[in-house]
Every structure is written in C-alpha cells, then in structure tokens.
Amino acid sequence: MSQKQHQQEKQEQLPQILVLGPPLVYKNHEHEFAKRFQILKPWESSLPIHLFLSTYCGSIQAVLTSGLFKITADGVLCHLPSLRLIVTTSVGLNHINLHECRRRGIIIANAAGVSSEDVAELGVGLLINVLRKVPAGDRYVRTGIWMTNGHYPLGSKVGGKRIGIVGLGSIGCEVAKRLEAFGCRISYNSQREKPSVPYQFYSNVCELAANSDALIICCTLTDETRHMINKEVILALGKDGVIVNIARGAIIDEKEMIKCLINGEIGGAGLDVLENEPLVPSELYAMDNVVLTQHVGVHTNESVSDRFEAVVGNLEAFFSNKLLLTPVLNY
C-alpha cells in the first residue's frame, strides 16, 4: 500500500462531520480539523447546497457551523436524517430552527463563555469611540483639515455616565465590570432580576433608556427581542444618548434608529452588528457619530484558538459518547 493510500484509508476512518459556512474557526484551523475528522465541504462543490446535502450527507451525525449560516427545517435539516449534533461557533442560536431540532432530538452545543470578554471589550471600545469621536477625529487629522480648521468638535467623557445594559448575561456582566472601572453607574434590563448583582433593575427597557446616557445591547435575538429597541426606546434615550449593539442587528429597529440619527434625536451609535449583514444602510456611511465594525466582537486571535478547543472538545465528546462541554439543547 502506498503512503497516499494509507493516508486516505486513515482519513476515512476518522469521524465524519459536515461543515457549513465555513466558520472562521474552521478556516483558521483547517489543518488541525483534518487530523481529527473527515470533513464534508459543500462550499467546494458545484452543486447547490440542498443537492450536496441530499447526495452526500444522509449518514452525517454532526454539523459544525457559525451564526451566519441558517440551519432551517426545509433547507438543511430535512436533508440530514441521521443528524444528532449541531456545534455552532456562536453564542446566539437564532440561526438554528430550535423547534425542529427539539422535535428530532438533535443536540446543540455553542461557544458560550469563550468570547464574553472579547465581546465586552469591543462594546466598551465602541462606546469610547462614539463618545470621544475617535474615528471622526482620526479622519480629521489624516485629511489635513486640522492644520487649517483647528481642533475637531469636542467629545464627551465616559466616566460617570449612566449605562443601561440590555441583557445581563455573561457578556453583559463583563461590560458592567469594565465600565464600573470608569466610574459609570450601571443599570440593566433582563428576562428576570438578578439579586446577586448590585445594579438597578428595570423590567421595562423604555424606562431603562430614559434613565441612561447610553444603552449597550447584549441580549440574544428572539421573537420577543426582535426590534425591542424601537422608536419609543430610542427617543427615551434622548438626543445625547448613545446606542451600542454587540448582540444581533435585528434587536434594534434599524430604520427607526437611522431616522432618529438623521433628525438628531439620538447622539450616536456604535454597531458591531446590523440587521441585514453584510449589507450596510447607505445613510450610515456619512455619519461621523456612527462607528461600524464587521461583526467581529467574538473574534480575536486568542478567542479563535479558544473556540477551536471548545468546538473540537464538543465534537470529540460526542463521538466518544461523553458529556458535551457546552450543551445548550440536550436530552
């Protein structure tokens, strides 16, 4: 047997997984994944996704995906009759049809806790950048306007601001911890009050906005939270208020937010996520009081490596009939 044949036979003996997306963690660690699993890669096929799945994936038991790939009942799950596990590199699960997964007994594991600090850091960074007008000031200097027009209009300090956190989970708590160091006063809205934290709780997000200088969105996207940050909430925040979104774009009514920004009814926004990514509403490009990043809150060199360990740990536990590391839907 040739070395090539030996390697091929060894590869075929590895557990088989279907990768959908593919997620960044797979792109950055493709060689390491190939050592542990036999990978099915629909993006390398000329077949439409539904034909690839129905042709090659009938016996697949495990899927690796990201938050950007939708796992639907009719588009994906109906073609995977043997599927028992979905591992997603995201924290949120709004891209997965949970009802169908429950009905079919499919286990789901996510990357909970792996990137909470990274997302929180970006949230605080966006807040600082909006309040202190850092990107706009940078452009002002680089284009040479500073030399002729003098100083750019002043920004506002972060210290002492009233910060409303929408969703006090692992990410929200990390945001609060960091902003406490700036002397900010923290309050929050969440599904339920958390007696273990010292922050003021508001059961109504509009009341939270009315008593905040900035809202930082950290909650998950559900039917209940979709467009939760609506015109009423934005107007309650006020003309100097800032919105930072490090969760999901659709939690904010984007059209209403843009209208409020245009009309000066809100002070600014820091957005790592948008409602129809990667499409960016053209109005946002011209706004110096808006800071945009490309849904990178969970992605740092360190967190991608940590997520690789979590993903591989979940997959290897599944194929070894052991407990998953981070299950979110289990039976």
Instruction: Write b or e for each residue in 150-184: b if 16 or more Cβ atoms lie within 10 A of its Cβ, otherwise e.
Output: eebeebeebeebebbbbbbbbbbbbbbebbeeeeb
Picking from 93, 53, 47, the residue whose alpha carbon sits closest to that of residue 69 is 93
Rounded CA-CA distance 40/16 in Å is 7
**SS3 state of residue 162:** strand
Instruction: List the catalytic residue out of 29, 248, 299, 307.
Output: 248
Reported as a single tens digit per residue, the pLDDT across 170-197 is 999 999 999 999 999 999 999 999 999 9
Cα atoms in the Cβ-side hemisphere of radius 13 Å centred on 103: 8
User: Are residues 179 and 171 in contact, defined by beta-carbon separation less than 8 angstroms?
Assistant: no
Reported as a single tens digit per residue, the pLDDT across 117-147 is 999 999 999 999 999 999 999 999 999 999 9
Give the chain's domains with CATH numbers.
3-114+301-324 (3.40.50.720), 116-292 (3.40.50.720)
Identify whether 117 is a catalytic site residue. Answer: no
Helices and strands in the chain, H and E counts? 14, 13
pTM of the prediction? 0.85
Instruction: List the catalytic residue out of 9, 30, 277, 283.
Output: 277
Identify whether 132 is a catalytic site residue. Answer: no
Strand order across the 290-292 sheet: 200-201, 185-189, 162-166, 214-217, 242-245, 268-271, 290-292
Residue-wise pLDDT tens for the chain (331 aa)? 555 554 555 566 899 999 999 988 999 999 999 999 999 999 999 999 999 999 999 999 999 999 889 999 999 999 999 999 999 998 888 899 999 999 999 999 998 777 899 999 999 999 999 999 999 999 999 999 999 999 999 999 999 999 999 999 999 999 999 999 999 999 999 999 999 999 999 999 999 999 999 999 999 999 999 999 999 999 999 999 999 999 999 999 999 999 999 999 999 999 999 999 999 999 999 999 999 999 999 888 888 888 899 999 999 999 999 999 989 887 6
DSSP letter for each residue of 287-305: -TTEEE--S-TT--HHHHH
Instruction: List the catalytic residue out of 36, 265, 295, 316.
Output: 295
Identify whether 248 is a catalytic site residue. Answer: yes
